């Protein structure tokens, strides 16, 4: 499956699943509260599949536009309700029950994130130890005294085991303080604390993909010989009969000293057929290798051939940290990860609103689809992590106090509770218009960012 098709399929699967989880929360709590459910829809617009079922003949449907969904409840404000069913109308049930129905959707997204992280940690998350590679002169990292081969043990008071974990905590600290404390172990096994001075640079450092370059570091990568250790079925390496054990000597007369150099060469030649000089079983031979062009999550296009390096087990074990827990131990780890990501997301959203964090962090469907395809291609653990992050984002977005979202509807119920009666139709209409305008603005930023990444 090519990357474009994989992205589309993964995106539709992810959005369909997460919307179903969200709407099922509304649906099941509405049923428990005695409210009649008229329709459960995944997607908006004209139904492409519809079935009625249950004692209330609820309509279950898939609609044409997959960017959301809804649960339609019996409500006097939307249509006339038969006298015998008035007690089952949403607007007639107690306000606490209405709030519970509205909050159930976002809460299910948080529960799903916990389950996704739980499964991810049970399966095992391959990660890379947070070892510093190159440190750029005169950079934030250099001024702090960070050195090549330093192993980051903790960020602030939080221990970290992988680069993924370190990045999350660094971003969290970045939004809270002007100095980020890193506890590191140097190559000579001594431990010390360095402080990254990030004052006034939060906006630049939080732009997508800018953290490492902004700090002036690159993750460490061990020197690996340019010897093929894995051929991925369906890749151009397999089609060109490249084999495990082949040593890449040169490509288009460019010497290839190590695997990193080979990766860099391949990525810089998307859609090009290159001439290889390889050594196979002690004999040198020439081969032609077409390089596939693959679109990345940020919209850039790189070359890929579908091959991996031959890595000595000792070197691999020293560099990789596999986070894997037993079924019982994985649950608290999943809850902690869900909490950490939720707090970080809320901080990022609030700082975007205040202008301290770049609006480039707002992603639209194009970018989400690209990430979906990329994460799916990386394996089940990475895809589960993607699903968890998007589920959390969906839950937090719907809790925002915007009238057209669940959080805004909760505000309406609270206003009715303290006022002693529902808000006027005019007040509700003005709120809806403000909410729609806000969402249009957000979607405008999202689509602009998507197009900027694609065409930059």
> Annotated catalytic residue: which of 23, 85, 173, 268?
23
Report field, pTM of the whole predicted structure over 0.85: no
For the chain, what are the domain ranges?
Answer: 95-124+325-456, 126-222+311-323, 228-299
Express each pLDDT in 271-283 by its tens digit.
Answer: 999 999 999 988 9
Q: Which two tokens stand for residue 366?
A: 């194009």
Express each pLDDT in 184-242 by its tens digit.
Answer: 999 889 999 999 998 888 888 888 778 888 999 988 877 788 899 888 887 888 888 88
Give the side-chain half-sphere CA count within 13 A for 316.
9
Residues 6 or more apart whose Cβ sits within 8 Å of residue 262 = 226, 248, 251, 256
User: Is residue 126's pLDDT more than 80?
Assistant: no
Query: Residue 112: what pLDDT?
Result: 97
- Report the range of poorest mean pLDDT among 216-220, 234-238, 318-322, 446-450: 446-450
For residue 109, what pLDDT band results from cuts at 50, 70 and 90? very high
CATH architecture of 228-299: Roll (2.30)
CATH architecture of 126-222+311-323: Roll (2.30)
Dihedral sign of CA atoms 199, 203, 209, 213 in order: negative
Average pLDDT for 362-379: 72
- C-alpha–C-alpha distance, residues 362 and 440, integer Å: 13
**Among residues 299, 294, 297, 296, which one has the least CA distance to residue 454?**
299
For residue 452, what pLDDT band results from cuts at 50, 70 and 90? low
Express each pLDDT in 245-291 by its tens digit.
Answer: 999 999 999 999 988 889 999 999 999 999 999 999 889 999 999 99
The answer to whether 341 and 168 have CB atoms below 8 angstroms apart is: yes
Express each pLDDT in 305-316 by its tens digit.
Answer: 988 888 766 655
Active site residue 23: yes
CA distances from 24 to 10, 66, 104, 372, 373 (A): 21, 16, 8, 22, 25
3-state secondary structure of 61: strand
Identical fold, 126-222+311-323 and 228-299:
yes
- Report the range of poorest mean pLDDT among 72-76, 115-119, 232-236, 337-341: 232-236
Give the side-chain half-sphere CA count within 13 A for 63.
19
User: Is residue 441's pLDDT more than 90?
Assistant: no
Express each pLDDT in 348-358 by its tens digit.
Answer: 888 877 777 77
- C-alpha–C-alpha distance, residues 88 and 34, integer Å: 6
């Amino acid at each position: 499956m090519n990357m474009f098709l994989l992205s589309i399929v993964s995106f539709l699967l992810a959005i369909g699943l997460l919307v179903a989880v969200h709407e099922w929360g509304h649906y099941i709590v509405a049923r428990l509260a005695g409210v009649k459910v008229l329709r459960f829809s995944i997607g908006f617009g004209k139904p492409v599949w519809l079935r009625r079922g249950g004692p209330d003949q609820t309509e279950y449907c898939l609609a044409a536009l997959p960017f959301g969904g809804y649960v339609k409840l019996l409500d006097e404000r939307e249509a006339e309700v038969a006298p015998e069913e008035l007690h089952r109308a949403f607007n007639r049930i107690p306000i606490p029950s209405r709030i519970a129905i509205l909050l159930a959707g976002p809460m299910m997204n948080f529960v799903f994130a916990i389950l996704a992280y739980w499964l991810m940690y049970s399966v095992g998350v391959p990660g890379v130890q947070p070892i510093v590679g190159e440190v750029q002169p005169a950079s934030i990292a250099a001024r702090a005294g960070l050195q090549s081969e330093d192993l980051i043990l903790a960020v602030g008071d939080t221990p970290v085991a992988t680069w993924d974990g370190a990045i999350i905590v660094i971003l969290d600290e970045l939004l809270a303080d002007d100095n980020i404390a890193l506890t590191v172990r140097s190559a000579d096994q001594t431990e010390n604390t360095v402080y990254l001075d990030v004052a006034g640079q939060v906006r630049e450092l939080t732009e997508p993909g800018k953290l490492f370059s902004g700090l002036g570091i690159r993750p460490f990568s061990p020197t690996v010989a340019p010897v093929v250790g894995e051929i991925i079925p369906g890749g151009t390496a397999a089609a060109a009969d490249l084999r495990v054990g082949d040593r890449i000597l040169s490509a288009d007369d460019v010497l290839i000293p190590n695997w990193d150099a080979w990766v860099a060469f391949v990525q810089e030649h998307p859609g090009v057929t290159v001439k290889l000089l390889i050594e196979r079983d002690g004999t040198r031979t020439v081969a032609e290798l077409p390089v596939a062009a693959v679109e990345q999550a940020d919209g850039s296009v790189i070359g890929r051939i579908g091959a991996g390096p031959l890595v000595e087990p000792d070197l691999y074990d020293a560099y990789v940290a596999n986070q894997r827990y037993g079924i019982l131990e994985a649950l608290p780890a999943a809850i902690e990860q869900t909490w950490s990501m939720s707090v970080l997301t809320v901080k990022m959203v609030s700082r975007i609103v205040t202008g301290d964090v770049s609006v480039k962090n707002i992603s639209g469907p194009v970018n989400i689809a690209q990430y979906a395809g990329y994460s799916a291609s990386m394996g089940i653990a990475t895809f589960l992590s993607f699903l968890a992050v998007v589920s959390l984002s969906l839950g937090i977005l719907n809790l925002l106090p915007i009238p057209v979202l669940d959080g805004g509807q909760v505000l309406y119920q609270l206003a009715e509770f303290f006022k002693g009666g529902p808000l006027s139709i005019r007040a509700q209409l003005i709120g809806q218009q403000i909410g729609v305008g806000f969402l249009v603005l957000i979607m405008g930023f999202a689509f602009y960012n998507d197009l900027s990444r694609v065409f930059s």
